[in-house]
Chain A
């Protein structure tokens, strides 16, 4: 702002670095896209310039739909993400609300417990969890992941929502209470409507986390019909030493699109959710 207003300086200071970051961050997606529309004779030809497509084809997409359960995987992924997001948002809000706005015995312990479960990484739990899911006879069912994903998402949602719930002034709630609203009504009619942005942030973040989950899905979902997109792609489009590159790329691209579209509508909420955990307002 202060130094160098000339064009040359702006290019050096802003446009060149921005372009550099954009190329670095987006190149793999470009690579995914062009590999998915290259015919095999271009894909597996080390002699030609690989950066562009000479004769684009949708064959890999066609094969993906015809030869694999990709549509079913997409349906499973969506179903699991939507249900686990809903469960986590509701339970997370119910945990966050009293922690943020009430005084009661045991509040400190619960708050520390929630923070700790948020930070305990899933890899510490997956082996005992595999045994538990086996004992519950939930292997190869979507219930297995619907039951386990909220363990990752509830602590996150509570954490995020606590900040939003704290930000609503007590006076508003007290005024409603004086007018005869019960505690529940004060929450439902006064606090929750004012924290809609927080609920949206938590929901979108939880949704992308659920789409990203891989370890539990890999362990619990061994049958093709119940798989999610990441597990299906990795286990069925790579068979032994054979990589179906074109289809892999098509699956990766199509699997990324739902998250990217939802993200594009709610970028600001997503960024708010991302930073709320680390930036205290």
Chain B
């Protein structure tokens, strides 16, 4: 039978190429890098590049839609001489530290409560996580109404309970505005701590508690010497995550107070937003955002190392 030469000539290279490709894909290194390439290139282009471009921007006087002028550390010097910048730094630390302590205590309490046996426990757990899953801006809208100067339900309760004669201006008073954003951040964060810590508590074997009880340990001793050591790694990781994201929070502050009144609740990100976006000073805004970097870098490096050690 005659073989049609053109057919052979056309298919042979395809087979060779397919085999070659197959051979390459079987090599571990080649297969790995082909799989990694799209994701890694994407992250390089849209995380690494903007990050370094941000550093470059922070060294320029760069109004929006105009070419930038290199001014070295000029933006940082200007910020360092601005009282608002230091107020922003203080606000951010107060906001982060106070909410973290409250979320940690509240979350631990929540975890211990739900870790007991009772009917409907998984349903309760599902409902308690709602503040964390609902889009932050939308739940903050409800809080804006709760804190409304005239129609605040908190004021209504306080006045009707006879605690105060007139209501508070929650978002208009400098101290109370800070208290308000702390309340909302804590409210949203407690379930995150609570549910993650609960998962940690559930890894503890009941035998350990029974052994401790037989040895005559009190409830407090059981908590300190059995519970706490076992959930410590989770406690540390959850706290560090939460600190990083609270330190760089934007949504709650932007929606509730816009950083006001008179910068009393201005934090790094809302400040950078005001300078860079509302004010159109991209260079100054980038510098204000980068001012977060030293503190963040310490936490990010610590957490990255800790996570790698754990795994």
Contacts and interface: CB of A to CB of B under 8 A. Distances in A.
Looking at chain A's contact residues, is the secondary structure mostly helix, strand, loop, or mixed?
Answer: helix
Interface string B128-149: 1111011111110111111010
A124 B54 contact: yes
B47 A117 contact: yes
B29 A104 contact: yes
Contacts of A57: none
A231 B255 CA distance: 10
A124 B248 contact: yes
B182 interface: no
B28 interface: yes
Contacts of B39: 91-92, 94-95, 154, 158
Contact of B118 (A14, A119, A248): A14
A6 interface: no
Contact of B51 (A125, A256, A259): A125
Nearest to B155: A46
A127 B286 contact: yes
Interface in A1-49: 1-3, 10, 13-15, 17-18, 21-22, 24-26, 28-29, 31-32, 35, 43-44, 46
A154 B139 contact: no
Residue with the highest number of chain A CB atoms closer than 10 Å, among B22, B195, B250: B250
B151 A50 contact: yes
Contacts of B292: 123-124
B143 A270 contact: no
Contacts of A267: 122, 125-126, 129
Nearest to B159: A46
A29 B192 contact: no
B104 interface: no
B237 A278 contact: yes
Interface string A236-268: 000000010100110111011001100110010
A31 B300 CA distance: 37
A97 B125 CA distance: 32
A249 B141 contact: yes
B264 interface: no
A279 B118 contact: no
B276 A127 contact: yes
A25 B42 contact: no
Interface string A122-158: 1111111111101000000000000110110011001
B138 A28 contact: no
A212 B136 contact: yes
Given A94-B38, A102-B32, 15 more contacts: A1-B116, A10-B118, A17-B113, A29-B130, A50-B151, A91-B38, A91-B39, A121-B296, A125-B51, A127-B277, A127-B282, A219-B277, A251-B138, A251-B141, A274-B129
The 10 A-B pairs at the shortest CB distance, nearest first, are namely A98-B32, A128-B54, A230-B137, A121-B248, A95-B39, A275-B199, A252-B138, A91-B39, A123-B269, A104-B32
